[in-house]
Homo-oligomer: A and B are copies of this chain.
Amino acid sequence: MNLKELSANLGLSQTTVSRALNGFPEVSEATRDKVLAAAAKHNYSPNIRAKSLATGRANAIGHVIPTDDRHEMVNPIFGDFIAGAGEVYAANNYEMVLSIIKDADEEQVYRNFKTRGTVDGVILHAPKMNDHRIALLQEIGLPFVVHGRASGIEQNYSWVDVNNISAFRRATDFLVDLGHRRIALINGLETMDFAHRRRRGYEEGLTARDIPVDPALMRGDSDMTESYGHSAAHEMLGQPNPPTAFVVSSIISALGVRRAFEDRGLQMGRDVSIVTHDDGLSYLANDGEVPVFTATRSSVREAGRMLSRMLIEKINGETSNHNHHLLEAELTLGRSTGPAPHN
């Protein structure tokens, strides 16, 4: 059933039927009701490609997930992010289109999005320091919002980000307050902007208390997998002057860190402490009566909701200026931290 058939059926013009369906005022209530009833009866739903072609709007939003050869994994937080965004898309009749592509092709994908009209805008994920994609998208003229920020970029753009500096500053402060002096950082890839900021927060925390920043206690050269957390922690704990506490960038890596403790017969929260960042992943909930991990928590799902709303507003032209939302992570106390052991 298409518009033509439906209107023929009703003895009305396509114009009128289209307007009735789309809620235009210049159609009488009587006919509108008739049209709506007929549409429902025949299960009519407009062909979206034709509609797109006519309106110039795709009613779709793109997510580009670049994967280079070394890191060909989909970020585990992505599932929760799109769960949040998906709610908003469904409510606003947008489709979500995903491109999982090689790093090198990313620019072409954005350009194609624009010229082919596949999507009306994109959400930019995992910005790096000085991320060139921001300038690229502005040049192309494709509406976008960023999950995170990119240091070193002078352009203005809309973003939602966690206050990574303050989160990791607080995590570090907290451990220092507990008496820890040898505090390790297990970070994400430090080409990533978020990782860079977290490191800054960590270093600021140490420096403020006159604790030297020791490169031997810092790692940030890998995706945040479980095994990365394990090997990094295992190695550091084998050093002559091992850390008594860890600040970790991901709850997944934190699981690996905890495993390293077990290997060495250390008890978490007594012999060694962990504060981890927690994105609120649904399958790794850290929210029992007393959570396992002391964590800086910020919901990535909520970020997905916020960003998709912002982008839709931008696409609809409801706002022309740029929006910035800095989310403060909450520091939730769990069982993974305790006073520094003295000896």
Contact = CB atoms under 8 A, between A and B. Distances in A.
Interface of A: 1, 43-50, 52-53, 58, 60, 65, 67, 72-76, 78-80, 82-83, 86-87, 89-90, 95-102, 105, 111-112, 115-118, 223-227, 252, 255, 259, 262, 281-285, 288, 292
18 contacts: A43-B111, A43-B115, A45-B111, A46-B116, A47-B115, A48-B117, A73-B282, A76-B79, A76-B281, A82-B98, A82-B100, A90-B100, A95-B118, A224-B283, A225-B284, A225-B285, A252-B284, A255-B255
A262 B266 CA distance: 11
Contacts of A79: 73-76, 78-79
Contact of A227 (B96, B97, B115, B285): B285
A4 to B, nearest CB: 14
Contacts of A65: 86
A97 B100 contact: no
B282 A225 contact: yes
A237 B251 CA distance: 26
B115 A86 contact: no
Tell me how many chains of this kind the complex includes: 2
A83 to B, nearest CB: 5
A1 B115 CA distance: 8
Contacts of A100: 82-83, 86-87, 89-90, 96
Contact of A83 (B48, B53, B72, B96): B72
Q: Shortest 6 CB-CB distances between A and B: which pairs?
A: A86-B100, A73-B282, A74-B79, A48-B116, A49-B52, A45-B115
Contacts of A285: 225-227
